[in-house]
Amino acid sequence: MQTGPSDTDTRREIVRVEGLTRTYKLGHEHVHALRAVDLTVREGEFVAIMGPSGSGKSTFLNQLGCLDRPDAGRYILAGTDVSRLSDDELAAIRGRTIGFVFQQFNLLARTSAKDNVELPLLYQGYARGSTRAEQLLETFGLPDRAAHSPQELSGGEQQRVSFARALINGPKVILADEPTGNLDSTRGEEIMQLLSDLNRAGMTVILVTHEDNIARYAERIVKFQDGSILADEPVEDRTVPESGGFQLPTDEGAPLVRRRGLKSLAAYVGNYAQSAFQSLTRNKLRAGLTTLGILIGVAAVIALVSIGQGAEADVRSQIEGLGSNLITVTPDRSRVRGAGPTGEQLEWEHARMIAEAVPALSGVAPEVSQRTNVRYGRESRSVEIVGTTAAYADMQNWQLAEGRFMTQADIDNRTHTAVLGADIADDIFGFRGAIGQSIRIGHTTHQVIGIMEARGGGGFQNHDQMIVIPITTAMRRLTGSEQVRSIGAQVADRDDMAQASADIAHVLRADLGTRSDGSDPFNILTQDDILQTLQSVMGTLTGLLASIAGISLLVGGIGIMNIMLVSVSERTREIGIRKAVGARRHDVMIQFLLEAIILAAVGGLLGWLAGTGAARVVSSIIGIPGIISLQTIAVAVGFSAFVGIFFGWYPARKASGLDPIDALRFE
């Protein structure tokens, strides 16, 4: 038989439960918390639910508050059957129709009283900052406590804040679970007077208590025992306190404004971002250490990629500085199966043949080289000696600092002359004049006729640390052979590069032939070929450096996931509070995801600054300019944001899936 008010009561039903059943499984045992409960409550009633511990009264209140689901039966709230609604639909019901007042107050720690009161607005599409919260706090006698956190409030003040939060959205039903349990008698009477005033104002109040004197404020007492309703009786000698003058704020006095359009989206994101920042600032040290992992990763990516790109640009500029429109011919030292040696050596004669047969060339300079000891007085050092022709300096775009370069007469006469690189001249002669001095190269004396300008390393050679002598002298006194290391050729018109390369190949094939597999016993490389090869190598190296640095970003992301999982565990009760006041799954998920993104974004921005500074410091130390491109910064910072989303998604999803009643019970 269904219990409820008398048949003469004409007020509309607001709560109807039929056959409500709830069973919990504890190990191998089944606990029947509710056994086919029937109950009806009408609008404006004040109902007290009583019973001993374990009787099912709190479980029943949780069912009425849509915090838990029944195993069987129906629950109709304000004309809507909520028994089988989805989680998000139940959250909407909790946010719009029900106001909770908990025994433990369930306020968010380190959050101001006003923000606690406004919390339900965040999940119901209303703009934050309305005057409704301020008026409610003033109504409850807390106008000067709005900025205080719960730790700074007394128990009675905290309970009044929870009342204000329960009323912020104008609910139809107030559910109060032992609202005076943690208060002294004086504060308890104040709370009951508030509930009585709310009931006089037309609010339906359902109260759970185990105290007879508290229950007598209600007009009906429903007693539970062993999961069933034992009695449902009107209160004969009801306690009716005088009105405390409480009045609910009206929309005229404190309107709630719904967000619309772009302002709605901006307010939506802003509210969640504000909540996320508040949560992160509660544990500044932990948040800072988590951010540090991302900071180091982003800084490493930016610094290493910048140095890699700078090194690539430096090598490119040095190669381009060697001269323009250059073609380099070298012997092919590779061995091909079945293709034995075919006279795969280049000789000085080949240089003369190329110069005569290829009209597009403006200069040809063969090279031989050997490292040997150079002595001047007591000074002795091992130096690379390069034998070449008079065209070498112009082709290499290498300028004289003093004296002269070799001439064709020096080549023809096999003179014992030498031109020094800038570093060699400084090392051997210092401040003394070098021009006209004699040095010994190997066992031969050479006269210094020129000193070249400093130019640094150029590709595979450091011109400043070499000595140049006539090729004819080098072949007779050093190598003892007509073979050359390479032949350099300069094309007068860049458009003729391809034709000149083909003509050079034709000349050499005519003299050297080809291998049995059809391959050439020589290599022809243009300056562009060398640049492309070096850029490919440097690009691979830069990518490798970026990948190594990216590993630290992944480690930082794992740190974010770890911290967020810990945060979910620590804040389980907070999640339950948010869900109890109307937060849907995606609301909770967005909040925790935003926290992870904020950690990653802050780490990314700080890493940008740190990486830029580190790149400049390293560049100044190693002498290679660091190139910090917007693309590198965007990729590094963007990847850090992706890391926040990727590693924050699982903890956020875990938080959003928590059952509100289990979360509220978490200790």
Q: Establish if 560 belongs to a structural domain.
A: yes
287 and 426 in one domain? no
Q: Establish if 599 belongs to a structural domain.
A: yes
Q: Provide the angle, in degrees to the nearest 10, between the axes of the packed helices 497-512 and 348-357.
A: 130
pLDDT (tens digit, 9 = 90+) per residue, 332-363?
A: 876 544 444 444 688 989 999 999 999 999 89
Give the list of residues 6+ apart from residue 49 with CB closer than 8 angstroms, or none.
57, 60, 61, 206, 207, 208, 209, 221, 222, 223, 224
What pLDDT does residue 667 have?
60
CA torsion sign for 523, 528, 534, 535 is negative
Instruction: Provide the pLDDT confidence category of residue 474 given band limits of 50, 70 and 90.
Output: very high
Query: Is pLDDT larger for residue 125 or for residue 495?
Result: 495
Where does 343-427 show beta strands of DSSP type E? 361-376, 379-388, 400-403, 417-420
Which amino acid appears at position 611 of this protein? Answer: G
Last residue of a domain, one of 480, 495, 520: 520
Q: Name the 3-class secondary structure at 270.
A: helix
Window from 42-46, 527-531, 561-565, 649-653 with minimum mean pLDDT: 527-531
Instruction: Provide the pLDDT confidence category of residue 118 given band limits of 50, 70 and 90.
Output: confident
Last residue of a domain, one of 495, 520, 545: 520
639 and 537 in one domain? yes
575 and 627 in one domain? yes
511 and 542 in one domain? no
What pLDDT does residue 342 have?
45
What pLDDT does residue 340 have?
46
What pLDDT does residue 422 have?
93
381 and 279 in one domain? no
Q: How far is the C-alpha of 537 from the C-alpha of 69, rounded, in Å?
A: 64
Last residue of a domain, one of 470, 485, 520: 520
595 and 657 in one domain? yes
Q: Establish if 605 belongs to a structural domain.
A: yes
Q: Which residue range(s) make up the domain with 541? A: 274-314+533-665
Place of tokens 């809507």: 80
What's the total number of domains in the chain?
Answer: 2
- Read off φ and ψ for residue 510, nearest 5 degrees: -65, -30
Q: Buried (b) or exposed (e) across 500-521, using 16+ Cβ within 10 A?
A: bbebbeebbeeebeebeeeebb
489 and 346 in one domain? yes
What pLDDT does residue 417 have?
96
What would the mean pLDDT of 258-262 be, rounded to a whole number? 51
Q: Work out the mean pLDDT of the chain and round it to a whole number.
A: 84
pLDDT (tens digit, 9 = 90+) per residue, 71-102?
A: 999 999 998 999 888 888 898 898 889 999 88
Alpha helices in 97-154, H assignment, sequence order: 113-122, 131-139
Q: How far is the C-alpha of 417 from the C-alpha of 410, rounded, in Å?
A: 8
Q: Establish if 144 belongs to a structural domain.
A: no
Query: Is pLDDT larger for residue 473 or for residue 155?
Result: 473
Q: Establish if 125 belongs to a structural domain.
A: no
Asked whether residue 14 carries a pLDDT value surpassing 90, the answer given is: yes
What would the mean pLDDT of 258-271 be, rounded to a whole number? 58
What pLDDT does residue 338 have?
45
Where does 235-278 show beta strands of DSSP type E? none
451 and 352 in one domain? yes
Place of tokens 């996320």: 276
What pLDDT does residue 111 have?
84
Q: How far is the C-alpha of 415 from the C-alpha of 389, rounded, in Å?
A: 12
> Distance of CA 545 to CAs 251, 292, 304, 549, Å?
62, 20, 6, 6
284 and 365 in one domain? no
Asked whether residue 254 carries a pLDDT value surpassing 70, the answer given is: no
Q: Establish if 505 belongs to a structural domain.
A: yes
What would the mean pLDDT of 134-143 be, rounded to a whole number? 86
What pLDDT does residue 127 have?
59
500 and 553 in one domain? no
Q: Establish if 365 belongs to a structural domain.
A: yes
Percent of the chain with pLDDT over 70: 89
418 and 346 in one domain? yes
Q: How far is the C-alpha of 658 from the C-alpha of 92, rounded, in Å?
A: 16
Q: How far is the C-alpha of 356 from the C-alpha of 136, rounded, in Å?
A: 101
Q: How far is the C-alpha of 113 from the C-alpha of 137, rounded, in Å?
A: 8
Q: Name the 3-class secondary structure at 236.
A: coil
Asked whether residue 369 carries a pLDDT value surpassing 90, the answer given is: yes
What would the mean pLDDT of 484-504 be, rounded to a whole number? 90
Q: Establish if 94 belongs to a structural domain.
A: no
Query: Is pLDDT larger for residue 244 or for residue 503?
Result: 503
| Cβ burial, residue 334 (10 Å; 0-12/13-18/19+) | exposed
The closest of 632, 613, 609, 630 to 621, measured between CA atoms, is 613
Asked whether residue 662 carries a pLDDT value surpassing 60, the answer given is: yes
β 444-452/417-420 pair status? parallel
What would the mean pLDDT of 556-584 be, rounded to a whole number? 85
What pLDDT does residue 248 have?
67
Instruction: Provide the pLDDT confidence category of residue 6 given band limits of 50, 70 and 90.
Output: low
> Distance of CA 427 to CAs 107, 420, 424, 443, Å?
78, 11, 5, 20
The closest of 201, 202, 199 to 218, measured between CA atoms, is 199
Place of tokens 């086919």: 36
The residue count of the chain comes to 667
What pLDDT does residue 605 have?
87
488 and 386 in one domain? yes
| pTM for this predicted structure | 0.64
